[in-house]
Chains A and B, each alone.
Chain A
Amino acid sequence: MPRRSRILTSIAVLAVAGLAVAWGMSAPHPLTAAEIPAHQPDIANGKVLFNAAGCLSCHKPGPDLKNVDASLPAGGSPFKTPIGTFYPPNLTPDPETGIGKWTDLEFVNAVQRGISPEGENLIPAFPYTSYARMKTSDVLDIKAYLASLSPVVSPEKQAQIPAPWLLRRGVGLWKHIAFRTDQWQPDPGKPAEWNLGAYIANGPGHCNECHTPRNMFMAFDWSKQFAGGPHPGGEGKVPSLHDLIGRGKYKDASDLASAFQNGEMLGYEDMASGGMGEVQTNLSKLPDSDVQALADYISSLK
Protein backbone atom coordinates (compact mmCIF):
# COMPACT_ATOMS: atom_id res chain seq x y z
CA MET A 1 0.00 0.00 0.00
CA PRO A 2 1.43 3.41 -0.88
CA ARG A 3 2.40 5.45 2.14
CA ARG A 4 -0.13 8.18 1.39
CA SER A 5 -3.15 5.92 1.30
CA ARG A 6 -1.92 4.13 4.44
CA ILE A 7 -2.06 7.45 6.25
CA LEU A 8 -5.51 8.12 4.85
CA THR A 9 -6.69 4.70 5.98
CA SER A 10 -5.40 5.18 9.49
CA ILE A 11 -7.04 8.60 9.66
CA ALA A 12 -10.30 7.02 8.54
CA VAL A 13 -9.95 4.23 11.09
CA LEU A 14 -9.16 6.76 13.79
CA ALA A 15 -12.11 8.88 12.78
CA VAL A 16 -14.47 5.94 12.96
CA ALA A 17 -12.95 4.89 16.29
CA GLY A 18 -13.31 8.49 17.53
CA LEU A 19 -16.94 8.56 16.54
CA ALA A 20 -17.53 5.23 18.23
CA VAL A 21 -15.83 6.48 21.41
CA ALA A 22 -17.86 9.68 21.27
CA TRP A 23 -20.97 7.60 20.75
CA GLY A 24 -20.14 5.40 23.71
CA MET A 25 -19.19 8.43 25.79
CA SER A 26 -22.43 10.18 24.96
CA ALA A 27 -24.47 7.27 26.30
CA PRO A 28 -25.88 7.87 29.80
CA HIS A 29 -24.23 6.15 32.78
CA PRO A 30 -26.95 5.60 35.36
CA LEU A 31 -26.51 4.55 38.96
CA THR A 32 -27.33 0.94 39.84
CA ALA A 33 -29.75 -0.25 42.52
CA ALA A 34 -26.77 -1.27 44.69
CA GLU A 35 -25.71 2.37 44.90
CA ILE A 36 -29.02 3.52 46.43
CA PRO A 37 -28.82 3.43 50.25
CA ALA A 38 -31.51 1.70 52.29
CA HIS A 39 -33.45 4.57 53.81
CA GLN A 40 -36.53 5.18 55.92
CA PRO A 41 -38.10 8.19 54.17
CA ASP A 42 -38.85 11.35 56.15
CA ILE A 43 -41.64 13.35 54.49
CA ALA A 44 -41.13 16.48 56.63
CA ASN A 45 -37.45 16.62 55.65
CA GLY A 46 -38.49 16.01 52.06
CA LYS A 47 -40.72 19.09 52.16
CA VAL A 48 -37.88 21.27 53.48
CA LEU A 49 -35.57 20.04 50.72
CA PHE A 50 -38.28 20.43 48.05
CA ASN A 51 -38.42 24.12 49.06
CA ALA A 52 -34.65 24.54 49.37
CA ALA A 53 -34.24 22.98 45.92
CA GLY A 54 -36.94 25.18 44.39
CA CYS A 55 -38.56 22.29 42.48
CA LEU A 56 -41.89 24.18 42.35
CA SER A 57 -40.39 27.24 40.60
CA CYS A 58 -39.88 25.25 37.42
CA HIS A 59 -42.45 22.45 37.85
CA LYS A 60 -45.36 24.74 38.80
CA PRO A 61 -48.73 24.17 37.10
CA GLY A 62 -48.93 25.59 33.59
CA PRO A 63 -51.36 28.34 32.50
CA ASP A 64 -53.88 25.71 31.30
CA LEU A 65 -54.16 24.25 34.84
CA LYS A 66 -55.89 27.26 36.40
CA ASN A 67 -57.98 25.18 38.81
CA VAL A 68 -55.01 23.26 40.17
CA ASP A 69 -53.58 24.24 43.57
CA ALA A 70 -50.56 26.41 42.67
CA SER A 71 -48.45 24.74 45.36
CA LEU A 72 -48.56 21.40 43.51
CA PRO A 73 -45.70 20.64 41.09
CA ALA A 74 -48.13 19.61 38.34
CA GLY A 75 -45.79 20.81 35.57
CA GLY A 76 -46.42 22.27 32.16
CA SER A 77 -45.37 25.84 32.79
CA PRO A 78 -43.06 27.15 30.04
CA PHE A 79 -39.38 27.40 31.04
CA LYS A 80 -37.43 29.45 28.51
CA THR A 81 -33.72 28.82 27.90
CA PRO A 82 -31.39 30.10 25.18
CA ILE A 83 -31.78 26.76 23.33
CA GLY A 84 -35.59 26.65 23.44
CA THR A 85 -38.62 26.29 25.67
CA PHE A 86 -39.09 23.35 28.06
CA TYR A 87 -42.20 22.35 29.97
CA PRO A 88 -40.83 20.77 33.17
CA PRO A 89 -43.07 17.74 33.71
CA ASN A 90 -45.62 16.69 36.31
CA LEU A 91 -44.02 15.59 39.62
CA THR A 92 -47.29 14.71 41.38
CA PRO A 93 -47.99 11.00 42.01
CA ASP A 94 -50.47 10.58 39.13
CA PRO A 95 -49.56 7.10 37.81
CA GLU A 96 -50.02 7.94 34.11
CA THR A 97 -48.92 11.55 33.65
CA GLY A 98 -46.91 12.05 36.85
CA ILE A 99 -44.21 10.05 38.65
CA GLY A 100 -46.56 7.75 40.61
CA LYS A 101 -45.04 4.62 39.09
CA TRP A 102 -41.40 5.67 39.29
CA THR A 103 -38.99 3.56 41.36
CA ASP A 104 -36.53 5.16 43.79
CA LEU A 105 -33.71 4.30 41.39
CA GLU A 106 -35.43 6.02 38.46
CA PHE A 107 -36.04 9.12 40.55
CA VAL A 108 -32.47 9.33 41.87
CA ASN A 109 -31.08 8.83 38.36
CA ALA A 110 -33.20 11.69 37.04
CA VAL A 111 -32.46 14.12 39.88
CA GLN A 112 -28.80 13.25 40.53
CA ARG A 113 -27.56 11.96 37.19
CA GLY A 114 -29.84 13.70 34.68
CA ILE A 115 -31.05 10.45 33.12
CA SER A 116 -34.72 9.76 32.38
CA PRO A 117 -36.33 6.34 33.01
CA GLU A 118 -36.19 5.85 29.22
CA GLY A 119 -32.41 6.17 29.49
CA GLU A 120 -32.10 9.55 27.82
CA ASN A 121 -29.89 12.40 28.96
CA LEU A 122 -31.86 15.25 30.47
CA ILE A 123 -30.96 18.85 29.65
CA PRO A 124 -28.98 20.53 32.45
CA ALA A 125 -31.42 23.48 32.57
CA PHE A 126 -32.80 21.02 35.15
CA PRO A 127 -30.07 21.69 37.73
CA TYR A 128 -29.12 18.07 38.41
CA THR A 129 -25.46 19.09 38.29
CA SER A 130 -26.09 20.68 41.70
CA TYR A 131 -28.57 18.09 42.97
CA ALA A 132 -25.92 15.43 42.26
CA ARG A 133 -24.03 16.79 45.23
CA MET A 134 -26.94 16.18 47.64
CA LYS A 135 -27.18 13.29 50.05
CA THR A 136 -29.11 10.58 48.22
CA SER A 137 -31.21 10.08 51.37
CA ASP A 138 -32.39 13.71 51.04
CA VAL A 139 -33.40 13.04 47.42
CA LEU A 140 -35.37 9.97 48.54
CA ASP A 141 -37.10 12.17 51.14
CA ILE A 142 -38.15 14.56 48.35
CA LYS A 143 -39.62 11.59 46.51
CA ALA A 144 -41.55 10.57 49.64
CA TYR A 145 -42.86 14.14 50.01
CA LEU A 146 -43.94 14.21 46.34
CA ALA A 147 -45.72 10.86 46.81
CA SER A 148 -47.71 12.40 49.70
CA LEU A 149 -49.20 15.14 47.44
CA SER A 150 -52.56 15.00 45.62
CA PRO A 151 -52.16 13.51 42.15
CA VAL A 152 -52.89 15.87 39.24
CA VAL A 153 -53.50 14.71 35.66
CA SER A 154 -51.14 16.82 33.56
CA PRO A 155 -49.71 15.17 30.45
CA GLU A 156 -46.15 15.98 29.41
CA LYS A 157 -45.71 18.68 26.76
CA GLN A 158 -42.98 18.37 24.14
CA ALA A 159 -40.05 20.73 24.58
CA GLN A 160 -39.57 23.15 21.71
CA ILE A 161 -35.89 22.54 21.04
CA PRO A 162 -33.94 21.90 17.83
CA ALA A 163 -32.83 18.26 17.15
CA PRO A 164 -33.71 16.95 20.63
CA TRP A 165 -32.20 13.54 19.94
CA LEU A 166 -28.80 14.92 18.95
CA LEU A 167 -28.93 17.49 21.73
CA ARG A 168 -29.46 14.78 24.35
CA ARG A 169 -26.45 12.80 23.05
CA GLY A 170 -24.51 16.06 23.09
CA VAL A 171 -25.39 16.45 26.75
CA GLY A 172 -23.93 12.99 27.28
CA LEU A 173 -20.55 14.17 25.94
CA TRP A 174 -20.78 17.36 27.95
CA LYS A 175 -21.34 15.37 31.13
CA HIS A 176 -17.86 13.82 30.72
CA ILE A 177 -16.17 17.21 30.93
CA ALA A 178 -18.51 19.22 33.06
CA PHE A 179 -20.46 16.94 35.40
CA ARG A 180 -19.16 16.57 38.93
CA THR A 181 -21.00 13.85 40.80
CA ASP A 182 -19.08 13.69 44.10
CA GLN A 183 -21.37 14.46 47.01
CA TRP A 184 -20.83 17.62 49.04
CA GLN A 185 -18.28 17.07 51.82
CA PRO A 186 -18.42 19.09 55.03
CA ASP A 187 -15.30 20.98 56.11
CA PRO A 188 -14.39 19.53 59.52
CA GLY A 189 -12.58 22.77 60.40
CA LYS A 190 -15.78 24.79 60.19
CA PRO A 191 -18.79 25.00 62.56
CA ALA A 192 -21.76 22.70 61.89
CA GLU A 193 -23.98 25.66 61.01
CA TRP A 194 -21.56 26.90 58.33
CA ASN A 195 -21.43 23.40 56.87
CA LEU A 196 -25.22 23.21 56.77
CA GLY A 197 -25.29 26.52 54.89
CA ALA A 198 -22.58 25.33 52.49
CA TYR A 199 -24.57 22.15 51.81
CA ILE A 200 -27.79 24.07 51.13
CA ALA A 201 -26.01 26.50 48.79
CA ASN A 202 -23.96 23.96 46.83
CA GLY A 203 -26.46 21.09 46.82
CA PRO A 204 -30.23 21.61 46.87
CA GLY A 205 -30.15 25.44 46.70
CA HIS A 206 -28.19 25.25 43.40
CA CYS A 207 -26.87 28.79 43.91
CA ASN A 208 -23.86 27.99 41.67
CA GLU A 209 -26.16 27.51 38.65
CA CYS A 210 -26.51 31.28 38.34
CA HIS A 211 -23.88 32.83 40.62
CA THR A 212 -20.82 30.85 39.42
CA PRO A 213 -19.52 31.67 35.93
CA ARG A 214 -18.79 28.89 33.45
CA ASN A 215 -15.72 28.21 31.32
CA MET A 216 -15.66 27.61 27.55
CA PHE A 217 -16.98 24.05 28.09
CA MET A 218 -19.96 25.40 30.04
CA ALA A 219 -18.55 23.75 33.16
CA PHE A 220 -18.49 25.69 36.43
CA ASP A 221 -15.29 27.69 36.80
CA TRP A 222 -14.60 26.78 40.45
CA SER A 223 -11.72 29.27 40.60
CA LYS A 224 -14.40 31.95 40.32
CA GLN A 225 -17.01 30.30 42.51
CA PHE A 226 -19.89 32.69 43.33
CA ALA A 227 -18.16 35.56 41.49
CA GLY A 228 -21.26 36.24 39.36
CA GLY A 229 -21.34 36.74 35.61
CA PRO A 230 -23.63 36.49 32.61
CA HIS A 231 -27.09 35.12 33.41
CA PRO A 232 -27.45 31.49 32.20
CA GLY A 233 -30.95 32.39 30.99
CA GLY A 234 -29.31 34.74 28.52
CA GLU A 235 -30.57 38.06 29.90
CA GLY A 236 -28.64 40.47 32.12
CA LYS A 237 -26.02 39.67 34.74
CA VAL A 238 -25.92 37.81 38.03
CA PRO A 239 -24.21 39.61 40.92
CA SER A 240 -21.23 38.32 42.89
CA LEU A 241 -21.88 36.85 46.34
CA HIS A 242 -18.42 37.76 47.63
CA ASP A 243 -17.90 40.13 50.53
CA LEU A 244 -21.57 41.20 50.64
CA ILE A 245 -21.14 42.66 54.11
CA GLY A 246 -17.76 44.34 53.48
CA ARG A 247 -19.28 45.94 50.40
CA GLY A 248 -22.08 47.35 52.56
CA LYS A 249 -24.85 45.39 50.81
CA TYR A 250 -26.06 43.93 54.12
CA LYS A 251 -25.34 44.98 57.69
CA ASP A 252 -24.44 41.51 58.93
CA ALA A 253 -25.34 37.83 58.48
CA SER A 254 -28.71 38.30 60.24
CA ASP A 255 -29.56 41.11 57.86
CA LEU A 256 -28.73 38.81 54.93
CA ALA A 257 -30.93 36.10 56.50
CA SER A 258 -33.75 38.66 56.71
CA ALA A 259 -33.16 39.51 53.03
CA PHE A 260 -33.52 35.79 52.13
CA GLN A 261 -36.72 35.60 54.18
CA ASN A 262 -38.34 38.83 52.98
CA GLY A 263 -36.59 39.97 49.80
CA GLU A 264 -38.04 43.00 48.08
CA MET A 265 -41.18 42.60 50.19
CA LEU A 266 -39.14 44.38 52.86
CA GLY A 267 -37.24 46.80 50.64
CA TYR A 268 -34.12 44.66 50.06
CA GLU A 269 -32.77 45.54 46.64
CA ASP A 270 -31.55 43.09 44.01
CA MET A 271 -33.64 40.14 45.17
CA ALA A 272 -36.33 39.78 42.48
CA SER A 273 -35.02 39.98 38.92
CA GLY A 274 -33.55 37.17 36.84
CA GLY A 275 -35.16 34.33 38.81
CA MET A 276 -33.87 35.45 42.23
CA GLY A 277 -37.41 36.40 43.28
CA GLU A 278 -38.54 32.80 43.00
CA VAL A 279 -35.40 31.55 44.76
CA GLN A 280 -36.08 34.01 47.58
CA THR A 281 -39.76 32.95 47.80
CA ASN A 282 -38.56 29.37 48.20
CA LEU A 283 -35.97 30.33 50.83
CA SER A 284 -38.70 32.15 52.79
CA LYS A 285 -40.40 28.78 53.32
CA LEU A 286 -37.36 27.22 55.06
CA PRO A 287 -36.97 26.90 58.84
CA ASP A 288 -35.25 29.98 60.34
CA SER A 289 -32.21 27.93 61.35
CA ASP A 290 -31.61 26.80 57.75
CA VAL A 291 -31.87 30.36 56.41
CA GLN A 292 -29.50 31.64 59.09
CA ALA A 293 -27.01 28.86 58.25
CA LEU A 294 -27.19 29.78 54.56
CA ALA A 295 -26.63 33.46 55.40
CA ASP A 296 -23.65 32.54 57.62
CA TYR A 297 -22.06 30.61 54.79
CA ILE A 298 -22.76 33.17 52.05
CA SER A 299 -21.56 36.07 54.18
CA SER A 300 -18.31 34.19 54.91
CA LEU A 301 -17.37 34.27 51.19
CA LYS A 302 -14.56 36.80 51.02
Chain B
Amino acid sequence: MKKNLAAVLALAVGVGIIGAGAGLAAGTADDMINARQAEMKVNMKAMKALVSMLKGETPYDTAAVQAAAKSISDAQAEGVAKDVWNTSSQTGATVKSGAKPEIWTDAAGFTEAWKNLDTAVAALSASTDEASFKAAFPALGAACKGCHEKFRAAE
Protein backbone atom coordinates (compact mmCIF):
# COMPACT_ATOMS: atom_id res chain seq x y z
CA MET B 1 0.00 0.00 0.00
CA LYS B 2 2.71 2.39 1.01
CA LYS B 3 4.65 1.39 -2.05
CA ASN B 4 1.62 2.12 -4.21
CA LEU B 5 1.26 5.57 -2.78
CA ALA B 6 4.92 6.23 -3.43
CA ALA B 7 4.46 5.10 -7.01
CA VAL B 8 1.46 7.34 -7.46
CA LEU B 9 3.37 10.27 -6.01
CA ALA B 10 6.34 9.57 -8.22
CA LEU B 11 4.02 9.41 -11.20
CA ALA B 12 2.33 12.64 -10.21
CA VAL B 13 5.69 14.38 -9.83
CA GLY B 14 6.78 12.91 -13.14
CA VAL B 15 3.65 14.19 -14.86
CA GLY B 16 4.23 17.53 -13.25
CA ILE B 17 7.73 17.67 -14.65
CA ILE B 18 6.55 16.60 -18.10
CA GLY B 19 3.84 19.24 -17.86
CA ALA B 20 6.37 21.91 -17.00
CA GLY B 21 8.59 20.60 -19.77
CA ALA B 22 5.82 20.99 -22.33
CA GLY B 23 5.25 24.50 -21.10
CA LEU B 24 8.90 25.32 -21.62
CA ALA B 25 9.05 23.65 -25.00
CA ALA B 26 6.34 25.97 -26.27
CA GLY B 27 8.90 28.77 -26.08
CA THR B 28 8.25 32.31 -27.22
CA ALA B 29 5.53 33.32 -29.63
CA ASP B 30 8.16 33.88 -32.33
CA ASP B 31 9.58 30.38 -31.81
CA MET B 32 6.14 28.83 -32.14
CA ILE B 33 5.29 30.80 -35.26
CA ASN B 34 8.63 30.10 -36.92
CA ALA B 35 8.32 26.40 -36.10
CA ARG B 36 4.80 26.05 -37.47
CA GLN B 37 5.64 27.98 -40.62
CA ALA B 38 8.59 25.60 -41.10
CA GLU B 39 6.13 22.71 -40.65
CA MET B 40 3.91 24.21 -43.35
CA LYS B 41 6.89 24.63 -45.69
CA VAL B 42 7.55 20.89 -45.32
CA ASN B 43 3.89 20.29 -46.22
CA MET B 44 4.22 22.44 -49.32
CA LYS B 45 7.40 20.67 -50.38
CA ALA B 46 5.65 17.31 -50.06
CA MET B 47 2.66 18.68 -51.94
CA LYS B 48 4.82 19.89 -54.84
CA ALA B 49 6.53 16.50 -55.09
CA LEU B 50 3.17 14.73 -55.20
CA VAL B 51 1.66 17.14 -57.74
CA SER B 52 4.63 16.69 -60.00
CA MET B 53 4.01 12.91 -60.00
CA LEU B 54 0.30 13.45 -60.44
CA LYS B 55 0.91 15.56 -63.55
CA GLY B 56 3.50 13.10 -64.81
CA GLU B 57 6.32 15.67 -64.68
CA THR B 58 8.25 13.17 -62.57
CA PRO B 59 7.58 9.43 -62.88
CA TYR B 60 5.26 7.81 -60.37
CA ASP B 61 7.19 6.17 -57.52
CA THR B 62 5.50 4.43 -54.58
CA ALA B 63 8.45 5.05 -52.27
CA ALA B 64 8.45 8.77 -53.10
CA VAL B 65 4.71 9.03 -52.36
CA GLN B 66 5.24 7.36 -49.01
CA ALA B 67 8.23 9.54 -48.22
CA ALA B 68 6.16 12.67 -48.95
CA ALA B 69 3.30 11.40 -46.79
CA LYS B 70 5.72 10.58 -43.98
CA SER B 71 7.32 14.03 -44.14
CA ILE B 72 3.88 15.58 -43.59
CA SER B 73 3.05 13.40 -40.58
CA ASP B 74 6.57 13.85 -39.13
CA ALA B 75 6.30 17.63 -39.44
CA GLN B 76 2.92 17.52 -37.75
CA ALA B 77 4.24 15.33 -34.92
CA GLU B 78 7.11 17.75 -34.40
CA GLY B 79 4.60 20.61 -34.27
CA VAL B 80 2.60 18.78 -31.61
CA ALA B 81 5.76 18.06 -29.59
CA LYS B 82 6.77 21.72 -29.73
CA ASP B 83 3.18 22.81 -29.02
CA VAL B 84 3.41 25.33 -31.86
CA TRP B 85 -0.30 26.22 -31.83
CA ASN B 86 -0.32 27.15 -28.15
CA THR B 87 -2.74 30.00 -27.46
CA SER B 88 0.14 32.00 -25.93
CA SER B 89 1.54 32.46 -29.47
CA GLN B 90 -1.19 35.08 -30.01
CA THR B 91 0.61 37.70 -27.96
CA GLY B 92 4.06 39.21 -28.06
CA ALA B 93 5.12 38.00 -31.51
CA THR B 94 7.43 40.08 -33.69
CA VAL B 95 7.29 37.80 -36.75
CA LYS B 96 4.25 37.93 -39.04
CA SER B 97 1.74 35.13 -38.61
CA GLY B 98 -1.17 34.07 -40.78
CA ALA B 99 -2.89 32.29 -37.91
CA LYS B 100 -6.48 33.45 -37.43
CA PRO B 101 -7.97 33.77 -33.92
CA GLU B 102 -10.56 31.14 -34.95
CA ILE B 103 -7.82 28.53 -34.29
CA TRP B 104 -8.42 29.17 -30.60
CA THR B 105 -12.08 30.23 -30.61
CA ASP B 106 -13.11 27.20 -32.71
CA ALA B 107 -10.69 24.63 -31.28
CA ALA B 108 -13.02 21.76 -32.24
CA GLY B 109 -13.06 22.90 -35.87
CA PHE B 110 -9.28 23.22 -35.91
CA THR B 111 -8.86 19.69 -34.51
CA GLU B 112 -11.29 18.45 -37.15
CA ALA B 113 -9.18 20.10 -39.87
CA TRP B 114 -6.09 18.26 -38.60
CA LYS B 115 -8.05 15.00 -38.61
CA ASN B 116 -8.86 15.57 -42.29
CA LEU B 117 -5.15 15.90 -42.95
CA ASP B 118 -4.38 12.73 -40.95
CA THR B 119 -6.98 10.73 -42.87
CA ALA B 120 -5.67 11.98 -46.20
CA VAL B 121 -2.05 11.24 -45.30
CA ALA B 122 -2.99 7.75 -44.08
CA ALA B 123 -4.75 7.00 -47.37
CA LEU B 124 -1.71 8.22 -49.34
CA SER B 125 0.64 6.06 -47.28
CA ALA B 126 -1.61 3.08 -47.92
CA SER B 127 -1.63 3.63 -51.69
CA THR B 128 0.43 1.02 -53.51
CA ASP B 129 0.14 1.93 -57.19
CA GLU B 130 -0.45 4.92 -59.43
CA ALA B 131 -4.23 4.40 -59.54
CA SER B 132 -4.65 4.26 -55.76
CA PHE B 133 -2.28 7.26 -55.42
CA LYS B 134 -4.40 9.30 -57.83
CA ALA B 135 -7.55 8.29 -55.98
CA ALA B 136 -6.10 9.23 -52.59
CA PHE B 137 -4.52 12.55 -53.64
CA PRO B 138 -7.55 14.93 -53.83
CA ALA B 139 -8.33 14.48 -50.12
CA LEU B 140 -4.88 15.86 -49.27
CA GLY B 141 -5.36 19.04 -51.30
CA ALA B 142 -8.83 19.41 -49.82
CA ALA B 143 -7.36 19.16 -46.30
CA CYS B 144 -4.84 21.98 -46.98
CA LYS B 145 -7.44 24.18 -48.67
CA GLY B 146 -10.14 23.45 -46.10
CA CYS B 147 -7.99 24.46 -43.15
CA HIS B 148 -6.52 27.55 -44.84
CA GLU B 149 -9.99 28.78 -45.82
CA LYS B 150 -11.06 28.86 -42.19
CA PHE B 151 -7.94 29.30 -40.12
CA ARG B 152 -5.34 31.17 -42.17
CA ALA B 153 -5.46 34.87 -42.99
CA ALA B 154 -3.94 36.14 -46.22
CA GLU B 155 -0.41 37.54 -45.66
- A residues bordering B, Cβ < 8 Å? 231, 235-239, 262-267, 269-274, 276-278
Q: Determine the distance from Cα of A13 to Cα of B153 in the docked complex, in whole angstroms.
A: 50
Cβ contact of A236, chosen from B50, B141, B155, cutoff 8 A: B155
By the criterion of a CB under 8 Å from any partner CB, how many residues of chain B are at the interface? Answer: 19
Cβ contact of A270, chosen from B48, B138, B154, cutoff 8 A: B154
Task: Flag if B154 contacts A237 (CB, 8 Å).
Answer: yes
Task: Flag if B138 contacts A272 (CB, 8 Å).
Answer: no
1/0 contact trace for B121-155 toward A, CB 8 Å?
A: 00000000000000000100110110011001111
Task: Flag if A272 contacts B149 (CB, 8 Å).
Answer: yes
Q: Determine the distance from Cα of A215 to Cα of B63 in the docked complex, in whole angstroms.
A: 54
Interface residue B10 (Cβ < 8 Å from any Cβ of A): no
Question: What B residues does A231 contact at CB under 8 A?
Answer: 153-154
1/0 contact trace for B46-60 toward A, CB 8 Å?
A: 011011001000000
Task: Flag if A239 contacts B154 (CB, 8 Å).
Answer: yes
Is chain B's interface secondary structure helix, strand, loop, or mixed overall? helix
Interface residue B98 (Cβ < 8 Å from any Cβ of A): yes
Give the A-B pair count, Cβ closer than 8 A: 54
Q: Determine the distance from Cα of A269 to Cα of B37 in the docked complex, in whole angstroms.
A: 14
Minimal Cβ-Cβ distance residue in A for B55: A266
Task: Flag if A273 contacts B141 (CB, 8 Å).
Answer: no
Interface residue B15 (Cβ < 8 Å from any Cβ of A): no
| 3 nearest CB pairs, A to B | A265-B141, A236-B153, A274-B154
Question: What B residues does A235 contact at CB under 8 A?
Answer: 100, 153
Question: What B residues does A274 contact at CB under 8 A?
Answer: 153-154
Smallest CB–CB gap between A273 and chain B, Å? 4
Task: Flag if B142 contacts A273 (CB, 8 Å).
Answer: no
Question: What A residues does B154 contact at CB under 8 A?
Answer: 231, 236-239, 270, 273-274, 276
Q: Determine the distance from Cα of A272 to Cα of B153 in the docked complex, in whole angstroms.
A: 9
16 of the cross-chain contacts (CB-CB < 8 Å) are A236-B98, A236-B153, A236-B155, A239-B154, A239-B155, A262-B141, A263-B145, A267-B44, A267-B50, A269-B44, A272-B144, A273-B153, A274-B153, A276-B154, A277-B149, A278-B149
